[in-house]
Structure formats: structure tokens, C-alpha cells
A and B are shown apart, each in its own frame.
Chain A
């Protein structure tokens, strides 16, 4: 009796699919043979060039070449395309390598079963086997492909950008890019023009996140408690009316506020002038603009917290309040000692999520003020700019790609710290113990 397991796996090592053919699994073998051949050809033709490109980011810059009598600019290597191609090749190669290893493992297992006297599965049986045993992989395949190409790959690429000198005026295809290591990180905190903006925007981002979360939370709880008082009639009606801001798309309500608060023509200032009050620079003065964005954010955020808290309030047993009242507790004491702890207990995770969300709250700032008013001495940023809106401007308007990538990484570190803290405390992750 020959040792099928060893022979088949050695054949599969030699070339993908050989082992399967040896095991008399013809269709599977041919399929793997095809994948093996394609992968190998692609590797020989492109892999090394593309990896080389990823490492060097091109070595042929744009140059002037004499064609006949005219001098023409001939494009050299395009560093960005080389980077993307290198990255894709690398991922594709890793995927192919994975299939190669699985192919060896498969020949070995099937061979071993043959030694044990089992007949190898035919193709139909193999498919059935995969569907039964590896169903998770089957249904994960499509989402995985989507996430790989549209989320993971772009993100990896953006992280790589942080370590290059990709910023105007160094732009492909006119210029070649270079790897510069952590220099952009260093420049952001040491170069005077950048560091001033960075510290300013960073501080405001934190202040904004703290204040906007706190105001919507406290506001939401107070409104919920206010409506939940025993003596208030038509509770449902009030709640429904107050939830209206939640149902209007942010895009619309923020653009509406932008117009409402227009200094010259906006109705708010118009009403103020009717009362003989002066016009307020709602969105044009740095300090006022900061107050305004927090105020408008309350309008947007309070309804959600109110509904959440209203739900929790109904679950607090009534007799807790009644026995406290019998003991002579005041309304304030009831709120402090019963309502608040119960609400906080259930909403603490939401609170942290909201805080993390507010660090990234692009819409409120961008649609309301564009990050303006401008502050002198700031590098491409205004008084209300958060790190994310600054990132956006640096990418789309000012083409400082490496700086925006660095800022993205900094935001990530901020949010990740908070989220990990949060997730460690919540149930589904504790069960899953992915974070210890």
C-alpha cells in the first residue's frame, strides 16, 4: 500500500492541483491547476516589478526628451499608481499563497483518507462538504471581497501615504515620491506653522467632543425627566413633537441653520433687531461660532438621548420612588439618587460612543461653518475646524496628502483608545474575548 498522503502532498507542493489529480479528483485538480498556473504566470510577469515599485516608488522621473526637433515632456514613473499596484500585487500574492498551502493540506488529508480505505469525494460531494463544513467561509466570501477592496486596501494605502512626502508641490506624475519615514509626524509637531495649527485644532476637537457630548446628554436627560413627570399630560404628543429634529436629514437641517444664523439676512438676527438688540456674529466671530456649533449640535443630539432615556425611565420600578417619598426624600434627591444612577448605568456605553462619534463629527462643522472663521497663522484651518474637517480640507483643497494621512492616524489613536476602553466593558466583547 503506497503512502498516498505523502505522495499527494509532495505532488501538490510541486505544482498546485497535481496532488488532487493523483487522488483522482479531476475537476478539483484541474481548477487548482488553473489557479496555480495563473498565479505563477502573474507572479513572474508582474510581482517583482510591482514590489520593486512599491519599495522605490519609481526611479524614472518626468523628463524632457527630444523628439525630432521638438522637446517633449515624457512621463516617468507614477509613484502613486506604483504604490497601488504594488499593494494589490502583494495582497493577491498572499491570497494565492494561502490557496497554495490549502491545496497541499487538502491533498494530504484526502490521501490519508485513501490510506484509511475511503474513496475520495467526487466534485459534487466536495462542494456539498464545503457547504456543510465551511459554510461560514462560503457566506463570508462576498462581504470579504467587498471589504478587502473598498475598505481595507484603501485604508492601507492611506496609512502608507503618511510615510511619504506626497504633498503639494510634490505631486505625481510630475514628481517622484519618496518614503520619508516618520518625518511628517515630526513636522506636524515641530514645524512652527503646522504645530500651531495642530495644537489649536486638536485642543478645540477635544473641547468640542467633551462639550457637545455633555450638553446633549444632560439636555436629553433633563427633557426626558421633564416630560416623564407624573402630572404631565399628553406625554406621547410632546415626545413626538420633540423628536422632529431627529427625523430631518442632517444635511438639510444644518444648511437651514446656516441660513437662519446668517449675520445680515438671517431671520434670527432679524428678530433680535425687532427687540432692539444688535446683530450677533453667530457664525463669523471665532468665539461665537464655537458657541453656535455646540448649540446647534444640541438641537440635533438632544432628541435621540431623550428617546433613549425615556425608554429607560419607564423601566425604573415605581415603588423605588414611592418608598423614597415615604422616607421624605425631595424631588431633587429622587433625581440624584434614583433616576441618575439608573440612567447612567444603562447609557454609559452610549455616552462613550457619542464622544468618539463627536470627535469625528464632520457634518455639523462642515455644513454649518466650513470650519471658518479663519484664524490668522493657521495652516489651512479655521476656528471651528475639527481634526476631521481639517483632514478633509488638506486632502481635497490643499493636496497635503501626507499630513492628512498623519492626522487620520492620530484620530484613529484617539478613537481607538476610547473604544477599547468601552468595548472591554461591554458584554458581547467579553464573551468574545477579542480584547483582553
Chain B
């Protein structure tokens, strides 16, 4: 082998180590005896499942409830968010109507403001509607956010689908609803997969809005609970956090690996087509 290739392999191996080390470390920490950050070696001398058990039995952390809350919020946001994006982007990509350019412009501008700028306003609105500490409030915020951020990716996707399919169906006398349901929806699978994945993982791990809106311990999500676990000063529950973090990561990790192809396509589409 040429020296260049040997060197290349060496660098690749080094990079692989760097890439998997943090993941390996957190998994190992979650099986470690004790509760401290400090450990003598990467692979602990004794392994234990106690931290996982503690998550679900401990009185202080309602981990099972958090998991349930998060699952509910993420699934509902994904459904509603994808639904909104689907409708909105289809209308904008396919129909020419009065106010179309203005709506596109408005959505473009909305995307350029930092996401939390509207935070105070949302907080006050929810306070007025008496909807703080309510899961639906969070679901609504995530769904509309998903619509605004993903509508351009979805529009770009529809721009690439030839119109001839719909036109043929229309000539055969199908109504707009039928065309949408029978022709467009089945074709939208790759785009829908991408959007639901992004929305799901986004709402699964978000702690900013969740922390703002959800107040009581039995309402909060995993991300908020975990963030509280490590962000408090003198937190001495590092291994418990590790176990919680591993469980939080698993669904997203599996989905990302499984649906990698769509993610990359979506990323490129979002960037090059707007």
C-alpha cells in the first residue's frame, strides 16, 4: 500500500473514533455504578441497569410521564404540521391566485426573523387565552412553526412534479379534492417523510418553547426534564441523566438512520430550490 493510503486510513480511523466517542461515553456512563461524572476508565468496571430502573421508579422524576407527554406532543405536532405544510405548499406551488406572491413574500420574511422573537408575544397570547401549561398550546406552536419553515422545501418538491398527471385526472372529470387525494398525496411520500421526520425530531427535543409553556412537573417533556437535570448547579445525577439521554436519543437515532436518504434529499432540496 502506498503511504498516502495508509495515512488516509489512519485519518479515517481517527475521525471515526472522534465521531463515536461521545456517544459511546454517554452510553457507558449510563451503565456505570454511582452517580458522578468522574470515572476511571471509558468502560466501567461494573455494569448496572439501576439508572434505567430509577428513571421509571424514582419519585422525583416522572420520567415515564415525560416520555408519554413528549410522544403525544411530537406525534400530534407531526400530524398537524405535515398536514398544514402539505395543504399550504400544494396550493402555493400549483395554483395561481390573487395574493400568492404576497403570501410567499410574507412567509419568506417570517423565516428570516429569529424563531424566539415571537416568544414573548406567544407567551402573552397563551396567558390571555389561559392556555399555559397545556400540551395543545405547544402542539399548535410547533405545527404552525413547522408549516412556516418547511413550506418552501415542500413547494420546491411540488415544482418538480409534472403537472400532466393532474391535468389528465382533471380532464377525466375528477374534482380538485379527488386529484389531491388520489394523485398528489401518493406522490408526496418522500416529501412527507422528510417533513414528518424533521417536525417529529424537532418537537421531540425542543426545550425552549416547551420550557416556556409547560410549567408543572407532570406536564413537561423529556427535553425539559433532562435539561433541568444537568443545568441545575450542583447536580449530582450525572449517570441518571446519561440513562435519560440515551432513551431520549434512541427514537431520533433510529429514525435518522432508517430514513437518512430522505433527509439528505430534503436538505439539498431546501437549499437549492429555496
A413 to chain B, nearest CB (A): 9
Nearest CB in chain B: distance from A339 CB, A? 15
B272–A349 touching, CB < 8 Å: yes
Q: Is A43 an interface residue (CB 8 A)?
A: no
9-residue interface stretch from A182-190, A208-216, A240-248, A281-289: A240-248
Q: How many residues of B contact A (CB 8 A)?
A: 99
**Interchain CB contact (< 8 A) of B19 among A84, A244, A311:** A244
Asked if A247 meets B272 with Cβ closer than 8 Å, knowing A151-B118, A259-B37, the reply is: no
In the bound complex, residues from chain A placing their C-beta under 8 Å from that of B177 are 131
A140 within 8 A of B: yes
In angstroms, Cα B125 to Cα A427, docked, is: 38
Main secondary structure of the interface of A (DSSP, over half): helix
With known contacts A81-B128, A147-B148, A428-B159, A247–B37 Cβ distance under 8 A: no
Complex Cα distance, B19 from A419, in Å, reads 31
Determine the chain B residues whose CB is within 8 A of the CB of A419 once the complex forms.
108, 111-112
A9 at the interface (CB under 8 A from B): no
Tell me which residues from 161 to 196 in chain B have a Cβ below 8 Å from any Cβ of chain A: 175-177, 180
Please, how many angstroms separate the alpha-carbon atoms of A429 and B271 in the complex? 12
A412 CB-CB contact with B under 8 Å: yes
Q: How far is the CA of A419 from the CA of B116 in the complex (A)?
A: 19
B-side binding surface: helix, strand, loop or mixed?
helix
Assuming the contacts A147-B147, A244-B19, A270-B38, asked whether A408 and B141 have C-beta atoms less than 8 A apart, the reply is no
With A and B bound together, what is the CA distance between A287 and B201 in angstroms? 33
Assembled-state Cα–Cα distance A245/B120 (Å): 33
Q: Which chain B residues (1-40) contact chain A, with CB distance < 8 Å?
A: 1-2, 5, 8-9, 11-12, 15-16, 18-20, 22-23, 25-26, 36-39
Chain A residues positioned under 8 Å from B109 (CB to CB): 416
**Is A226 within 8 A of B20, CB to CB?**
no
Q: Residue on A with the closest CB to B80?
A: A146
Q: Return the contact of B84 from the options A142, A387, A404, A428 (Cβ within 8 A).
A: A142
A195 interface hit (Cβ, 8 Å): no
Instruction: Determine whether B55 belongs to the interface, using a CB cutoff of 8 Å to chain A.
Output: no
In angstroms, Cα B122 to Cα A154, docked, is: 6
User: Which of the residues A140, A157, A408 comes within 8 Å of B114, measured between beta carbons?
Assistant: A408
Whether A136 pairs with B273 at a CB distance below 8 angstroms is: no
B47 interface residue per 8 A CB criterion: no
Interface residues on A, range: 35 or more
Please tell me if B64 contacts chain A, counting CB pairs below 8 Å: no
Cβ of A158 and Cβ of B39 under 8 Å apart?
no
Name the interface residues of A125-176: CB closer than 8 Å to any CB of B.
Answer: 131-132, 134-137, 139-140, 142-144, 146-147, 149-155, 157-158, 161
Tell whether, in the assembled complex, residue B120 and residue A395 are in contact, meaning their CB atoms are under 8 Å apart.
Answer: yes
**A161 to chain B: which residues have CB within 8 Å?**
120-121
The distance from the CB of B174 to the nearest CB of chain A, in whole angstroms, is 11
A231 touches B (CB below 8 Å): yes
Q: Which residues of A contact B79 (CB under 8 A)?
A: none
Asked whether, in the complex, the Cβ of A308 is within 8 Å of the Cβ of B37, the reply is: no
Tell me which residues across on chain B come within 8 A of A135, comparing CB atoms.
91, 95, 176
Question: B-facing mask of A214-245, CB < 8 A → 1, else 0?
Answer: 00000000010011010110000010011111
With a cutoff of 8 Å between Cβ atoms, the chain B residues found around residue A304 in the complex are 267
Which chain B residue lies CB-closest to A243?
A: B260
The answer to whether A428 touches B156 (Cβ under 8 A) is yes
A391 touches B116 (CB 8 A): yes
Q: Which of B121, B148, B155 has the most CB of A within 10 A?
A: B121
Known: A136-B97, A232-B12. A391 touches B87 (CB 8 A): no
Q: With A154-B118, A251-B223, A260-B25 given, name 11 new contacts (CB 8 A).
A: A136-B92, A152-B106, A247-B252, A247-B256, A248-B252, A249-B249, A256-B25, A311-B268, A395-B119, A426-B273, A434-B104
**Ranked 8 nearest A-B pairs via Cβ:** A154-B121, A154-B118, A136-B95, A408-B117, A247-B256, A143-B88, A150-B144, A157-B121
B binding-site residues for A, Cβ under 8 Å = 1-2, 5, 8-9, 11-12, 15-16, 18-20, 22-23, 25-26, 36-39, 42, 84-85, 87-88, 90-92, 94-95, 97, 100-101, 103-122, 124-125, 128, 140-141, 143-145, 147-148, 152, 155-156, 159, 175-177, 180, 201, 204-205, 207-208, 212, 223, 226-227, 230, 238, 241, 245, 248-249, 252-253, 256-257, 260, 264, 267-268, 270-274
Binding site for B on A (CB under 8 A): 80-81, 84, 131-132, 134-137, 139-140, 142-144, 146-147, 149-155, 157-158, 161, 223, 226-227, 229, 231-232, 238, 241-253, 255-260, 262, 265-267, 270, 299, 303-304, 307-308, 311, 346, 349-350, 353, 356, 360, 362, 387-388, 391-392, 395-396, 401, 404-405, 408, 411-412, 415-416, 419, 423, 426-429, 431-432, 434
Q: Pick 22 A–B contacts, CB within 8 A, sort by A.
A: A135-B91, A139-B87, A143-B87, A150-B140, A150-B144, A150-B145, A158-B121, A238-B12, A238-B16, A249-B249, A251-B226, A252-B248, A260-B25, A267-B25, A404-B117, A405-B117, A415-B114, A423-B274, A428-B159, A429-B274, A434-B101, A434-B108
